[in-house]
Each structure stands twice: as C-alpha cells, then as structure tokens.
Structure 1
Amino acid sequence: MGISRHATAHWEGDLKSGRGQLSTPQSGLMDNTRYAFNSRFGDEKGTNPEELIAAAHAGCFTMALSAKLTEAGHPPTTLDTRAEVDLSMEGGPSLSQIRLKVNAQVPGIDDAKFQAIAKDAKENCPVSKALSAVPISLEAKLLG
C-alpha cells in the first residue's frame, strides 16, 4: 500500500462573492488559508489552486532532480526551482502550460549530463506524471 496525504477545502457562498479555506493538517503549512474568486482570478490576498499545483510541482521536481543527480554521483549543492502554472480562460478555465525553471549548483557535472538528468526528473516525478495532460517545459541552468 502506498502513502496517502490529504488537504481539506471549505467553501461558503456563491462562486464570485463566496470565500473558502484550505488546510493541510499534517504539515500545518496552510492552516485555514483563505482562497476566493478574486485570489484566483484577481489580485486579492490568498491562495488559489494553480499556486498550490505550482508549489507541489516545484517541490516534487526538485526532490526528483536531487535524487537523480545523487544517483549519478553528483549530489547537488543547491537547487532552486520556480514552477509557473498558467490558467487559460479560453473555452472555460483550464491549465494551459507549466514552466519549470531550475538554477542548480552541482559540482563535477557537465551541462549536457545535467540537462539529461533534469529532463528525466521533469518527465518522471510523480507530479509531472499526474499533470501530463498539460504541456510542461523546463529551463535548467547550471551555475558556477
């Protein structure tokens, strides 16, 4: 049996004027974090599903990349990943694109090998696999 994690969502009211709260009970990362129509489609303070997907993808990809680099004999010094998730409104809301951007310090590796390992991590981390219906691009930079 695998590992199961959960989060909760509570919503009150209609779509545009309603408000909700999201919670990740195990980590406490988001105890009762607000979300609403305007935090998703506007600039109101609060989170939204796309931001949470971006956080999950950045974290999963970064851990996968660290594991694959270490397996290849090149444990990273640092990995800094930004995930950008685009929400398109054409034909109804849908995720239209995800961009992963990673800056890495990895001693003793050449760029070609680093790029190949980063691509493999992008294609095989569990969140990338779950989001495979959405185009995912990767910009991987080897620093120093």
Structure 2
Amino acid sequence: MTTRTATARYEGFGKEGKGRLDSPSGVLDATPYGFNTRFGDEKGTNPEELIAAAHAGCFTMALSFALAKAGFSEGSLETTAAVKLEQDGDGFTITHSDLTLKAEVPGISPEQFEALAAGAKANCPVSKLLNAEISLTHTLA
C-alpha cells in the first residue's frame, strides 16, 4: 500500500480567501490557489487542474505498462485531460474528464492499441476514483 499526502491551507473565507498547497515532495510548495485561480486568471492552481494532471499521468502510465506487457518497447504517449466543473444547484460538480491521447507505437495494430487504451482508461486508479464520465479520443501515428 502506498499513501501520498498534500496539505491545503486557506486564510480568509469565500472569494476573498487565499490558499496554498504543499506536498512533501516539494512539487507543491506554497502553491497559491483560491477563487481567482479557479474561476479567474490569477496565477496559481486549482483542484480541477490538479485532478487533470493526475488523470493524464495515471492513464498514460497505465497504458505505458500495458504496452510493455504486450511486448512493445519503443514509442511515445502524450495525454491531455480536460476536467469539467459544472454548476450543480448551489454548488459545483466535476462531471467529465476527457482524455486526448497522441501515441506513436511502432508495429501495433489499431485494434490492439484500441483495446489496450480502453483497458488503461477503465483501470487506472484515478479513473476508478472519479465519479464522472470519462471519454477517450486518440490518434495513433
């Protein structure tokens, strides 16, 4: 079992509050977040961006391992995840994570690639965590 942690600190409340995120690895080091980084264009991050990064990374790694297990050792994968936050009554809900994959895997058939990518989408731990619709579009060079 692996456990990872992060800490969020928020000072003040609502739109006027300011937050920061920290992680033991140092990747997040007093990284600012708040209303204006989430809904505006202020420099910093937001939960949806972090979920998108986690989903893109998890899916891409899962597909990489599936390809290696199937005997492929050359190529590249690049995935963008677009996480959608939508109004839900008085609050908000993350409704979608749309994965867009560009792949280069010499020697793989489109059918085998499709099957491995679908398996990675369904089985990466972040996909399993999300209570949202997940789509996958891909191009195979």
Tell me the TM-score normalised to structure 1 length: 0.94
Q: Deviations over 1:14-47 (max 9, x none)?
A: 1100100001222x11111000101111221110
Q: Distance in 1 between matches of 2:110 and 2:50?
A: 30
Q: Is the 8 A contact 1:69 1:76 kept in 2?
A: no
Equivalent position of 1:40 in the other structure: 38
Note the 1:62-73 alignment, pairs <5 A.
62-73=60-71
> % of aligned pairs identical?
54
C-alpha displacement at 1:90, in angstroms? 3.1
SS in structure 1 at match of 2:8: strand
Equivalent position of 2:114 in the other structure: 115
Q: Distance in 2 between matches of 1:117 and 1:59?
A: 16
Question: Which residues of structure 1 form unaligned runs of 5+?
Answer: none
Q: Distance in 1 between matches of 2:73 and 2:137?
A: 19
Q: Distance in 2 between matches of 1:117 and 1:76?
A: 15
SS in structure 2 at match of 1:112: helix
**1:93–1:76 Cα change, 3 Å:** farther
Equivalent position of 2:82 in the other structure: 84
Tell me the TM-score normalised to structure 2 length: 0.96
Question: Structure 1 runs of 4+ off > 6 angstroms?
Answer: none
Q: Deviations over 1:31-70 (max 9, x none)?
A: 1100010111122111000000000001100100000011
C-alpha displacement at 1:107, in angstroms? 1.1
C-alpha displacement at 1:76, in angstroms? 4.3
Question: Which residues of structure 2 form unaligned runs of 5+?
Answer: none
**1:138–1:116 Cα change, 3 Å:** same
